[in-house]
Structure 1
Amino acid sequence: MEIFDKLSNAAKEFFIESEDGQNAAPKPAPVPGPSAAPIAGSPMPFAPPAPPVVVQAEKRHLDHIASLLAGDGKDFGAYIKMAKSMAGSGMSGPLLYQTAFNVFSAVNGGSAPALLASAAQFEQVLATDREKVLARHREKMGEVTVPGATGGPVVQLTAQEKKLTAELADLTRQLQAKQQQLVQTQQQLAEERQKTQAALASYELANSAALTELQAHRKAAEAFLNTGGAAAK
């Protein structure tokens, strides 16, 4: 019958995949690389980039997750492979999972509670691994400090950013102080120029008045003396 042919093909594919998985050497879990973080406070105008939009996981992450879910061929991971194989043959719904369990139980002798417990263990493995990755991510982003640990690129660049920002702020304060000194000097210079020009103007007035008075008296005396002198002679 067709249904038995499908079950036979699915079981055959499952055992071939299981043997290949057992013969393959386990791959070491790659360490996730640091993510870029935007740099703020730069001297030049800088617009932080938008958060990255990831629509597909990287192969190294997929391989890492696969290594976490690699079991002994008698767990929930093997059951999932068998169910997927049968789904490829056209089965679906409750019949798919019931049939897959029947075949899985006949091959491995497992019970439903043990199979579900295996699934819970895998979920816990994923949750624990995620916590480790998030802790490492926070460390890389500089959100937490680990004593004795060498900071990654994000931590180092953040420190450099803070240093440059502080230096720029100090230079800005120095520039503002120099600008204030310049304004004060210009004000003093303007006042001294006014005083000097006013002193010159005052002197010119005094000099002009004295000269005018002197010339007037000289003319009067000259006229008198010339007249008187002429009469005396």
Structure 2
Amino acid sequence: MAILNNLTKAAKDFFIEDDGAAREASAPAPIAAQPSQTAPLPVGPAPAVTQAEQRHLDHIASLLAGDGKDFGAYTKMVKSMAGSGLTGPLLYQTAFNAFAALTGTNQTALLASAEQLVTKLADDRARVLQRHREKMGETADAKAPPGPLALLHQRETQLQTEVASLTEQLAQKSQQLREIQQQAQAEKQKTQAALASYELAHAAAAADLQAHRQAAQNFLNSSPSTPSSTN
């Protein structure tokens, strides 16, 4: 039958798959066109390569890599057989029968392996999130050096403190400047007033002196000569 040939080919492809292809299988393989009423393959959505860095995908793939007898290998068997047209319970049961026959793994061990992978992924995510919080400066680990972002936050806080101090100093200096400018303006007005007062006094004295000088010249030059006294 055609479906048995497809299953045989899927199992063969599964066991000759190289390590590089195994890592690439972290994303679900395209499923052949199915009738609209067929339920989709119940596997979780894979992260889009365009939204995740390849190093992250490689890291996750390394976490899921096993000895070929664990749940990760069984999942690859399921994905490989999905191309033959199987779906739903029949797909998973058929894949398990073939997997168990080839590896000797029973259902209990297989599901325990799945639980271990779930725990491994959860632990890795907790570690990554903890390191992320440290990098963001949200938590401090005395044993770990601060990350670049934490150092930048420290520098930012330091500069904010310095700016606040300089702003206060600027306000104080600005007040001093205004006071000095007011004093200088008052002194300028005082000096100008003194000069104006002097100019008035000087003008009055010069005018008075000129008037008396002119009068003296006029009157003294026009006076008759004093007669000489006789003996």
TM-score, with structure 1 as normaliser = 0.70
State the identity %. Answer: 62
State the secondary structure of the residue aligned to 2:68. coil
CA RMSD for the aligned pairs? 3.0
Shift of 1:157: 2.8
Shift of 1:217: 6.0
Could you tell me how far apart the structure 1 residues matched to 2:143 and 2:84 are? 56
Could you tell me how far apart the structure 1 residues matched to 2:147 and 2:75 are? 39
Shift of 1:132: 0.3
**79-88 or 94-103, larger mean C-alpha shift:** 94-103
Q: Which residue of 1 aligns with 2:127?
A: 132
2:64–2:72 Cα contact (<8 Å) kept: yes
Give CA-to-partner distance per residue, 1:192-214, whole Å, 9 cap, x none. 11101101111222333344455
Q: Which runs of 5+ in 1 are unaligned?
A: 25-53
State the secondary structure of the residue aligned to 1:184. helix
Give the paired residue count: 199
Could you tell me how far apart the structure 2 residues matched to 1:218 and 1:59 are? 110
Residue 183 (1) aligns with residue 170 (2) = no
Alignment-mate amino acid for residue 3 of structure 1: I
Could you tell me how far apart the structure 2 residues matched to 1:78 and 1:217 are? 130
Could you tell me how far apart the structure 1 residues matched to 2:221 and 2:58 are? 128
**162-171 or 215-224, larger mean C-alpha shift:** 215-224
Alignment-mate amino acid for residue 163 of structure 1: Q
Give CA-to-partner distance per residue, 1:143-178, whole Å, 9 cap, x none. 211114322322233333333343344444444433
Give CA-to-partner distance per residue, 1:12-37, whole Å, 9 cap, x none. 222223xx55xx9xxxxxxxxxxxxx
TM-score, with structure 2 as normaliser = 0.70
Alignment-mate amino acid for residue 175 of structure 2: Q
* Bigger RCO of structures 1 and 2 (CA < 8 A, at least 6 apart): 1
**143-152 or 190-199, larger mean C-alpha shift:** 143-152
Q: Which residue of 1 aligns with 2:63?
A: 68
Q: Which runs of 5+ in 2 are unaligned?
A: 23-48
